[in-house]
Amino acid sequence: MGGTFDPIHYGHLVAAEGARYQFRLDKVVFIPAGRPPHKTAQEISPARHRIMMTLLALQSNPHFTFSSVEVERPGPSYTVDTVHEMRRCFPGAELYFITGADAVLEILSWYRVEELLSLCYFVAATRPGYRLENLQQCLGGLPGHLLQRIYTMEVPALAISSTDIRRRVREGRPIKYLLPEAVERYIYRVGLYRDGAVPAEPLLAATPCRAADGREEETL
Ligand code: ATP
Ligand code: MG
């Protein structure tokens, strides 16, 4: 599963677990985007913070794992390059690229779509506001044999988005229960998403810090 993961939240995790179950996947590899072609550097937090949050979120699921291929690769992050890399890492494996139904439309309009669909299947998770019928209509221009490589998957309608979580932190509103607790703590500890300022280094030292409401938080 690819994404900016800024921050990772339960929408991502529920979609990944749903796909793992439905498609009988051995594991799900979470791949934080390096430099997404459609987002500028100012718009996303440094990769090291997104990696830390992703690692914290994956702890409780033995089927979930992580790859830093995109953040290590220089230049813009194209999904097709990432899928090539995954094929090298897992030779002979059948690959499924899990994504939200909104993102699948973007990905398939981005870059080398036929090549991409010949390398892996796509699993498009529904997200509130993006109906599966719309997706099928929008992709109607693709040849049938490629369309067959795209599966759609119903996940509980989770209206959670990273954009909303960032806005909530900025406004001092709660983010509890939208994302794993360890990720919530990391956000407050490091001071992510406040006033648009991004701290220079992840703070991994076990020091107390303040939550949005001024409470003193426990250590990670
Ligand atoms: P942002 O609001 O910053 O765009 P996001 O919540 O969309 O963040 P991304 O990291 O952009 O998260 O998403 C990674 C992938 O997860 C995308 O394919 C996206 O469509 C999917 N996704 C995000 N939120 C959900 C959700 N609540 N339910 C299902 N899929 C989701
Ligand atoms: Mg998004």
Give the residue carrying structure tokens 């997404």: 36
What pLDDT digit, counting tens, does each position of 178-188 carry?
Answer: 999 999 999 99
Per-residue pLDDT band for 68 (boundaries 50, 70, 90) equals: very high
Share above pLDDT 70 across residues of the chain, in percent, rounded to a whole number: 80
Report the separation in Å between the CA atom of 130 and the middle of ligand 1, taken as the mean of its atom positions: 12
What pLDDT digit, counting tens, does each position of 17-53 carry?
Answer: 999 999 999 999 999 998 766 666 667 899 999 999 9
Ligand lying closest to the C-alpha of residue 15: 1
CA 52, CA 116: separation in Å to the nearest integer? Answer: 28
Average confidence score pLDDT of the chain? 84
For ligand 1, atom 26, the nearest C-alpha belongs to 11
- Look at 82 and 202; give whichever has higher pLDDT: 82
Residue 79 contacts residue 43 (beta carbons within 8 Å) = no
Q: What is the pLDDT of residue 206?
A: 39
Burial (Cβ within 10 Å: 0-12, 13-18, ≥19) of residue 217: middle
For ligand 1, atom 9, the nearest C-alpha belongs to 3
Burial (Cβ within 10 Å: 0-12, 13-18, ≥19) of residue 194: middle
What pLDDT digit, counting tens, does each position of 162-183 carry?
Answer: 999 999 999 999 999 999 999 9
List the CATH code of the domain at 2-153. Answer: 3.40.50.620
CA 149, CA 156: separation in Å to the nearest integer? Answer: 23
Q: What is the pLDDT of residue 141?
A: 73
Domain ranges (residues) in the chain: 2-153, 162-217
Give the residue carrying structure tokens 């693709």: 142
Report the separation in Å between the CA atom of 6 and the middle of ligand 2, taken as the mean of its atom positions: 9
Residue 101 contacts residue 127 (beta carbons within 8 Å) = yes
CA-based R_g, the chain, Å: 18
Mutation to probe ligand 1, out of 5, 10, 12, 20 (largest number of atoms < 8 A from CB):
12
Residue 30 contacts residue 8 (beta carbons within 8 Å) = yes
pTM to 2 decimal places: 0.86
CA 186, CA 170: separation in Å to the nearest integer? Answer: 15
At 212, list the tokens.
């949005």
